[in-house]
């Protein structure tokens, strides 16, 4: 292919930066990454063809500095910018700044990001198209009556910021007396995380499924869906396990949801990769939001269809037509993604830190690891705790679960507490194995996150091993008493 750009700057970090770099280089293009000094020793920096340091008052601020990143792309001679997910990936002003600098933004047009990235505007577009949306109240319609209108939806209701995602700023309100305080918190969090404090409330569906549909659209009017992903295993409104196909959907409901997602994307004039999200339960489904970027969980779709979504993003941005039609897409097998995070599930999923002392990633049939870390690297609290993604596939769901259980057993990451043990226990939970999961699953069964108690012999053995590995104890044990040391080299 005659690419209109020969190099791509990756405006991100961690595992997604490594993953994008891999595809960019496989296609014969040059990969440039930006990095804060805290990431100077990262895997992404090591694997890129060029790395440019960026600065900020905090590490996160550096990756949110659109002007500095655009300047870095121009300096490096990059012709395109891939934003990954998070940070500036759904920032319309950043997409415009790239275009103004003569750079190709690997994503949808800025006006589409604005329309579909704002949940309130997106809901209006979806409802106008006749697609299902949950009953809601929008604060900006009439702020003085917002509480009353929200109350008429019925409790419990879900209070949400208009912008952003990742579960930030979302609050379940179960009675009217709690609404004023929840409104203040949600508005403050929306302003802090997304620079937008506007809110809306919608009917809260108890224990629904979270179903999303991957879409791809080119600049020639072609758009397809790439089937659904189930993302119902969550903590604090954030996903930790995703799978495809969903065990909850029959053929008819799957077709309805996927067709609705494609219809919504067409109505929005969507191009490049995006995801339409729904809540589903009781035989019905409602539009939740659209993510105008690549999703964290995109690898499960890749494994099911044998399609590299980053490659498709690059080709669409370069002006190519989609090489396949909807009828050409035939999913096969079953795939899971497990998010490997630096966190302690037994302590409320509290983020953890530390230096990676040992790292041994699993391998084998149907096993893929997308990682952003290497042995010796320090895990800090500066960023989201996601370290890597374990993606496991099989011919059936049961085979994929069995492979996942073995892969999680084989996964060694020492130096900071992770959720690997928790994920391994989860794969044996009867409800998970049966596919009987929902977004409140972990809240309803908090014991899943707890560490199993150690028997006394195992505890004593571990304490003894830790003591023997302790430098002060080893020094004391190896030390020669002063009386004997005074003898020197003399011996009888």
Query: Is the per-residue pLDDT at 267 higher than 80?
Result: yes
Q: Which residues contact 430 (CB under 8 A, 6 or more apart)?
A: none
pLDDT-based confidence at residue 134 (cuts at 50, 70, 90): confident
pLDDT-based confidence at residue 200 (cuts at 50, 70, 90): confident
Which one, of 101, 49, 64, lies nearest residue 382 by Cα?
Answer: 64
In which element (H, E) is residue 235 found?
A: strand 223-235
Worst-scoring range by mean pLDDT, 279-283, 327-331, 334-338, 449-453? 449-453
Q: Which residues contact 94 (CB under 8 A, 6 or more apart)?
A: 11, 66, 69, 70, 83, 88, 105
What CATH class is the domain 135-203?
A: alpha beta
Q: How does pLDDT run across 303-333, given as a tens digit for each residue?
A: 999 999 999 999 999 999 999 999 999 999 9
Report yes or no: 3 and 32 within 8 Å, Cβ to Cβ: no
CATH topology of domain 209-449: D-amino Acid Aminotransferase; Chain A, domain 1 (3.30.470)
| Region class of 84: left (phi > 0), else alpha (psi between -120 and 50), else beta | left
Q: Tell me which of 482 and 258 has the higher pLDDT.
A: 258
Residues 404, 395: Cα–Cα separation, whole Å: 13
Q: Is 222 exposed, middle or buried (0-12, 13-18, 19+ CB in 10 A)?
A: middle
pTM: 0.88
Residues 292, 275: Cα–Cα separation, whole Å: 7
The residues that bridge with 173 in the sheet, in sequence order, are 157
Query: Is the per-residue pLDDT at 55 higher than 70?
Result: yes
Residue 474 has a pLDDT of 67
pLDDT-based confidence at residue 47 (cuts at 50, 70, 90): very high
Residue 93 has a pLDDT of 97
Residue 164 has a pLDDT of 67
pLDDT-based confidence at residue 173 (cuts at 50, 70, 90): very high
CA atoms within 13 A on the CB side of 446: 6
Domain boundaries, the chain: 7-106, 135-203, 209-449
Mean pLDDT of 270-277: 98
Q: How does pLDDT run across 373-390, given as a tens digit for each residue?
A: 999 999 999 999 999 999
Count other C-beta atoms under 10 Å from residue 139's C-beta: 23
Mean pLDDT of 20-24: 98
Mean pLDDT taken over the chain: 93
Query: Which CATH code fits 7-106?
Result: 3.40.50.20
Q: Which residues contact 435 (CB under 8 A, 6 or more apart)?
A: 247, 248, 397
């Amino acid at each position: 292919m005659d690419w209109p750009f020969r190099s791509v700057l990756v405006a991100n970090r961690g595992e997604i930066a490594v993953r994008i770099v891999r595809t960019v280089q496989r296609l014969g293009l040059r990969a440039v990454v930006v990095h804060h000094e805290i990431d100077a020793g990262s895997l992404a920096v090591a694997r890129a063809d060029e790395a440019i340091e960026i600065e900020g008052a905090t590490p996160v601020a550096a990756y949110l500095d659109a002007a500095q990143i655009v300047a870095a792309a121009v300096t490096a001679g990059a012709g395109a910018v891939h934003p990954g997910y998070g940070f500036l990936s759904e920032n319309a002003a950043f997409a415009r700044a790239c275009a103004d600098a003569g750079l190709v933004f690997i994503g949808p047009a800025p006006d589409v990001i604005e329309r579909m990235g704002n949940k309130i505007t997106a809901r209006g577009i979806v409802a106008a198209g006749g697609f299902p949306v949950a009953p809601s109240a929008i604060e900006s319609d009439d702020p003085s009556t917002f509480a009353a209108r929200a109350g008429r939806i019925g409790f419990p209701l879900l209070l949400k910021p208009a912008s952003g995602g990742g579960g930030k700023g979302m609050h379940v309100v179960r009675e009217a007396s709690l609404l004023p305080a929840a409104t203040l918190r949600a508005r403050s969090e929306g302003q802090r995380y997304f620079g937008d404090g506007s809110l809306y409330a919608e009917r809260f569906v108890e224990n629904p499924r979270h179903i999303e549909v991957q879409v791809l659209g080119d600049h020639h009017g072609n758009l397809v869906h790439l089937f659904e992903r189930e993302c119902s295993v969550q903590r604090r409104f954030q996903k930790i396990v995703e799978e495809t196909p969903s065990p909850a959907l029959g053929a008819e409901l799957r077709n309805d949801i996927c067709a609705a997602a494609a219809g919504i994307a067409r109505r929005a004039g969507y191009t490049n990769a995006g995801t339409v999200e729904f809540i589903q339960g009781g035989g019905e489904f409602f539009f939740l939001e659209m993510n105008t970027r690549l999703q964290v969980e995109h690898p499960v779709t890749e494994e099911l269809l044998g399609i590299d979504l980053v490659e498709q993003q690059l080709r669409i941005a370069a002006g190519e037509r989609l090489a396949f039609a909807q009828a050409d897409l035939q999913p096969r097998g079953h795939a899971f993604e497990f998010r490997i995070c630096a966190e302690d599930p037994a302590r409320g999923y509290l983020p953890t830190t530390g230096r990676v002392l040992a790292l041994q990633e699993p391998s084998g049939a149907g096993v893929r690891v997308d990682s952003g870390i290497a042995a010796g690297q320090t895990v800090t609290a500066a960023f989201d705790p996601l370290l890597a993604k374990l993606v496991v596939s099989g011919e059936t769901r049961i085979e994929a679960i069995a492979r996942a259980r073995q892969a999680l057993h084989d996964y060694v990451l020492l130096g900071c507490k992770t959720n690997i043990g928790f994920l391994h226990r989860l794969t044996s939970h009867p409800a998970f194995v049966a596919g009987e999961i929902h977004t409140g699953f972990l809240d309803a069964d908090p014991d899943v996150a707890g560490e199993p108690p150690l028997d006394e012999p195992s505890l004593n053995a571990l304490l003894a091993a830790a003591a023997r590995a302790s430098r002060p104890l080893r020094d004391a044990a190896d030390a020669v008493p002063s009386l004997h040391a005074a003898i020197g080299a003399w011996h009888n």
